[in-house]
Amino acid sequence: MIEQGSRHGSVSRRTLVRGLTAVGALAGVGMPFVARAAEPIRIGFPTPVTGPFGAEAKDQIRSAELAVKQFNEAGGLNGRMAELLVRDDKLNPGEAATRTLELIEKDKAHFIVGALSSAVQLSVNEITRSRKVLYVSISQSDTINEAKDFSRYTFHEALNPHMTTAAVAKHAFKKGTRVAYLVADYAYGHEMLRGFKRAAAAIGAETAGEILHPFGAPDYSTFMPRLRSMRPDILCICNFGRDQANSIKQANDFGLKKAARIVVPVLLHNQRLAGGADAFEDVVGASNYYWRLEETVPSAKAFNDAFRAAYANAIPTDYGAYGYTAVRSLLMAVKAAGDTDTHKVIAALEGLTYDVAKGPERYRACDHQAIQSVLITESRKKSEMQGEADLFRILEVEAGSEAALRTCDELGHRA
């Protein structure tokens, strides 16, 4: 082959070898400087592109990419640009674990942000904490705050059921209110129930009854008679996603909405679209973000405007906003730390107060939970919607405070 080379080209083998060695030497000397200056800040972003939450995932990706773009346009970290490595976790914890391993081992990601379902977040967390990689979770869950799953490398930017249920209960329950609960029989459902009952006990509201339904059940007709027989003032539906859309729709079909007020722990954009305006009318719930917050919060307006500019007048949804707040705050910490070194960034995140989309937020030290405001929203009647995206009305904004969270002791964290 070497003979062929000298036969073919005009460049002799010797020259070729000499030239390559020279280039190699130069590169070897110069490379480190070049590489360090150019080495991007890699943020792994597992998200369920495939599956029932594809729309939420897409919104999260767009928001996250917006945050990265803003960071880069502002000069990055001394010229180092951020890069978002999006991976499809297929809403499957095993798949998410594999993708996270790839992101860490092959793609050399510096940080991981993401996950929508609780199970996925916990599996990503298991991988990141054993390999000492910083992980910011944006999945709504109580479990990740607890000592068992926690690590110094774990941050939780999203709301958790405890916060949302407490806020909704404070708004909707009064002393003596009779509340019936329809709960999805899985960890998240139980977390929501626990949060509501705790808040209800403090307010003095009564439990009229509770029914557990199988997670993913499409049909709730068999629960309706019993719920009605409880004669509640409030029907509190503790589930998520398709379950929420289905159960609210069917509660409406069975006329339960005329008998009781329907209250949910999280009121989300896509579920409201799936269920329709009529079924969701007057349902009250909590949310981390609603675009019309821009009317009162300047950072929301800034976020929305940037989003509109980047994405053809679209507005960010609740889950989408998580992508933005998590990535943006992470990059702020990186900038503050001046480095991508994990421990420096952890220290920076712990000390950071940020206001990027919804008002001030900061992380609590013991469990790295982001203390932030909770919005109480109500689904609008179709006739009251001022536009296709005007799905909800903000009833009140519960300001962020540590009192809204469970105590560090309760979560098992030693001081």
Partner 1 sequence: MTSAFAALDLELIAMQLFSGVALGAVFVMLALGLSIIFGMLGIVNFAHGNFFMVGAYAGVFVMERTGSFWAALLVGPLLVGAMGLLVERFLIRPLAGRSPDDPLLLTFGLGYVLVEGVRILFGSDGLPFATPEELSGVADLGIGYFPIYRLFVVGVVALVLVVLWYGLERTRLGLIVRAGARDPEILRVLGIDIQRLWLWVFGLGIALAALGGVLAAPMRSVNPEMGNVVLGEAFAVTVIGGMGSLMGSVVAGLLVGIVVSMTALVAPEMASIAMFAFMALVLLIRPQGLFGKPGLGV
Partner 2 sequence: MQTLDQSVVDAPPGAVNPRPAPRVTAGFSRWRAPLSILALLTLPFLLPSQALAVNVLIYGLYAVGYNLLYGYTGLLSFGHAAFFGTGAYVTGIAIGAYGLHPLLAMGLGTVAASALALTVGAVSIRSRGIYFAMVTLALAQLVYYAALQASSWTGGENGLRGFTVSRIALGPASLDILDPQVKYLFVLAFVGVALALISRILASPFGAAIEAIRENETRARACGFDVERSKLLAFVLSGLFCGLGGALSAIHLSIVPLDSLAYHTSGMAVVMTLVGGAGTFFGPFVGALVVLVLEDVFSLWTPHWQLALGTVFILFVLFLPRGLWGAALERFAFRRGRS
* By CB under 8 A, residue 40 contacts partner 1: no
> Which of partner 2, partner 1, none does residue 94 bind to, with CB < 5 to 8 Å depending on kind?
partner 2
> Which of partner 2, partner 1, none does residue 253 bind to, with CB < 5 to 8 Å depending on kind?
partner 1
Q: Which stretch binds partner 1 (CB under 8 A): 67-75, 132-140, 275-283, 311-319?
A: 275-283
- DSSP output for 34-73: HHHHH--EEEEEEE--SSTTHHHHHHHHHHHHHHHHHHHH
Q: Which stretch binds partner 2 (CB under 8 A): 129-137, 239-247, 295-303, 372-380?
A: 129-137
How far is the CA of 366 from the CAs of 194, 199, 409, in angstroms?
22, 23, 9
Angle at 364 between CA 86 and CA 98, to 5 degrees: 25
* By CB under 8 A, residue 218 contacts partner 2: no
181 has which bridge partners?
210, 236
* By CB under 8 A, residue 123 contacts partner 2: yes
Contact 205, 179 (CB under 8 A): yes
- DSSP output for 91-128: T-HHHHHHHHHHHHHTS--SEEEE-SSHHHHHHHHHHH
CA torsion sign, 157 to 158 to 163 to 168?
positive
> Which of partner 1, partner 2, none does residue 313 bind to, with CB < 5 to 8 Å depending on kind?
none
Smallest gap from Cβ 2 to partner 2, in A, equals 25
The DSSP secondary-structure symbol of 177 reads: -
- Please report, as residue ranges, which positions from 76 to 115 form the binding site for partner 2 (by CB under 8 A): 88, 90, 92-94, 97-98, 101-102, 105-106
Element holding 277 (H helix, E strand)? helix 277-280
Spatial distance between the Cα atoms of 405 and 193, rounded to a whole number of angstroms? 16
Nearer to partner 1, 234 or 404 (CB): 234
Binding residue for partner 1, selected from 41, 224, 334, 375, defined by CB under 8 A: 224
Smallest gap from Cβ 244 to partner 2, in A, equals 16
Nearer to partner 1, 150 or 280 (CB): 280
2 has which bridge partners?
none
* By CB under 8 A, residue 314 contacts partner 2: no
Binding residue for partner 2, selected from 72, 76, 131, 342, defined by CB under 8 A: 131
Binding residue for partner 1, selected from 165, 271, 317, 379, defined by CB under 8 A: 271
Contact 77, 149 (CB under 8 A): no
Nearer to partner 2, 8 or 148 (CB): 148
* By CB under 8 A, residue 246 contacts partner 1: yes
Virtual CA dihedral for 214, 220, 221, 225, nearest 10 degrees? 80
Select from 169, 240, 251, 247 the least CA-distant residue to 202: 169
Nearer to partner 2, 116 or 391 (CB): 116
Sort 249 into a burial class: Cβ within 10 Å, 0-12 / 13-18 / 19+. Answer: middle
Binding residue for partner 1, selected from 26, 174, 176, 253, defined by CB under 8 A: 253
Nearer to partner 2, 123 or 369 (CB): 123
Binding residue for partner 1, selected from 4, 10, 78, 221, defined by CB under 8 A: 221
Nearer to partner 1, 276 or 412 (CB): 276
Site string for partner 1, 129-168 (x = CB under 8 A): ----------------------------------------
- Residues binding partner 1: what is the number (CB under 8 A)? 41
Main-chain phi, psi angles of 123, to 5 degrees: -75, -40
* By CB under 8 A, residue 187 contacts partner 2: yes
- In the three-class reduction of DSSP (H, G, I as helix; E, B as strand; rest coil), residue 354 is classed as strand
Element holding 396 (H helix, E strand)? strand 392-398
Smallest gap from Cβ 274 to partner 1, in A, equals 3
> Which of partner 2, partner 1, none does residue 97 bind to, with CB < 5 to 8 Å depending on kind?
partner 2
Nearer to partner 2, 128 or 372 (CB): 128
84 has which bridge partners?
43
Main-chain phi, psi angles of 151, to 5 degrees: -160, 165
Site string for partner 1, 194-213 (x = CB under 8 A): ---------------xxxxx
Contact footprint for partner 2 (CB under 8 A): 49-50, 54, 88, 90, 92-94, 97-98, 101-102, 105-106, 118-119, 122-123, 126-127, 129-131, 143, 148-149, 186-187, 215
